[in-house]
Amino acid sequence: MPAGDNNSFPGSVAIALAAIIIPILLSIFARNPPISRRPSNPNLTVKDPTTAADMDGIRHRTLTLNGINVHVAESGPADGPVVLFVHGFPELWYCWRHQMAAVASHGYRAVAPDLRGFGDTDAPADPASYTAFHVVGDLVALIDAVAPEGQKVFVVAHDWGAYMAWYLCLFRPDKVKALVNMSVLFNPRSPNRKPLPSLKAFLGDDYYVCRFQEPGVIEAEFAELGTERVLKEFFAYHTPAPLYMPKSKPFGHSPDVQIALPPWLSEEDLKYYIDKFEKTGFTGGLNYYRNIDRNWELTAPWQGDQVKVPVKFIVGDQDLTYNTGNARDYIGKGGFKRDVPFLQEVVVMPGVGHFLNEERADEINSHIVEFIRKF
């Protein structure tokens, strides 16, 4: 659930909280990609019964990339076209288990790492080791390790993974054949305002991205709540509004409130996440948020640059990213298409929240396979 620099607030304030996708009016279809609210090919259904106990098709290995040990899960034929899956927070490679099985069944080679700071991948201690340059460096090294020399890969990403996938396409478009990005819109860099002060000004100090900034503070609160409770809170968040985390009411309500698992996440699935985050803690993932302003500083050379790879974008209409800020002008007046000129489609999924790749796995599988088969 990232946030950063986006022109989604009045006065071109930079907000990358996860950008917001809205239906584009028919009157401007001529200059914008179409928005659909269903799979564009309803006859293409890519199902996957994968559960935590049925992972025989997944291969695991550890690669030394960009100076760290990176855990990588793979599925599908070793010589198939590579589909690189990039997760967000608080996720792991595991959030792509359904999509990996789906693309593998169509002859693709699915590759899903735990990003630095997550799961079984190394977690550098220095918060400054989690910039876009570091993470994209890991992804480029991974692409070089798994793809034949000179071969581009498909990229599928969500949340912080989507944020980094935009940077990957901005920095190294020569590595990417096409991108399916979810939840987080491309965020053009504002030259005049840093993201974090803008977030505080418009959303306040209790806004979750602001609360994540000081090392150790939110970790202590999460430790008091317990790993299971924290993960349940994140995965069950299905409110079409910004997430606030005041100290007196973590996640906006009393800790005594009972949190039920969403129907798309089993107890077995939750246990996988709990086991990994119990070992690593949340600091690695939180360090991505702590580099929002640093990313803004480092990416000045790309000011005004475009993402020039074919893109399909998918978001749920109940996603907090869809319901925070004011990106309607950015989408409706052609800003998104201007900054991502090869944007081919925006899909808004009715009734779907933030973790759409797990909540509506079959539909997401269909969207991915249908799109990458075009290339």
Q: 227-236 and 267-280 helices cross at what angle (nearest 10)?
A: 120
What is the amino acid identity at position 182?
M
The backbone torsions φ and ψ at residue 244, rounded to the nearest 5 degrees and listed phi first, read: -115, 145
- Residues 6 or more apart whose CB falls under 8 angstroms from that of 73 comprise 58, 59, 60, 93, 94, 96, 100, 111, 112, 113
- The full DSSP string for 34-94 is -EESS-SSTT--------TT--TT-EEEEEEETTEEEEEEEES-TTSPEEEEE--TT--GG
Please give the single-letter amino acid code of residue 3: A
CB contact set of 85 (below 8 Å; sequence gap of 6+): 93, 96, 99, 100, 110, 111, 112, 156, 157, 161
Kindly state the DSSP code that residue 298 receives in the 8-state scheme: H
The amino acid occupying position 125 is A
- The answer to whether residues 262 and 235 touch, using CB atoms and an 8 Å cutoff, is yes
- In 3D space, the residue among 202, 162, 175, 197 whose CA is nearest the CA of residue 312 turns out to be 162
Residue 15's nearest CA partner among 321, 338, 352 is 321
Candidate list 94, 167, 208, 289, residue with the active-site label: 289
330 is an active site residue: no
Q: Could you confirm whether 122 is annotated as catalytic?
A: no
Q: Which of 159, 269, 319, 339 is catalytic?
A: 159
C-beta separation of 190 from 5 below 8 A: yes
Residue 33 · residue 343 · CB < 8 Å: yes
Residue 5 bears catalytic tag? no
- Catalytic positions are 159, 289, 354
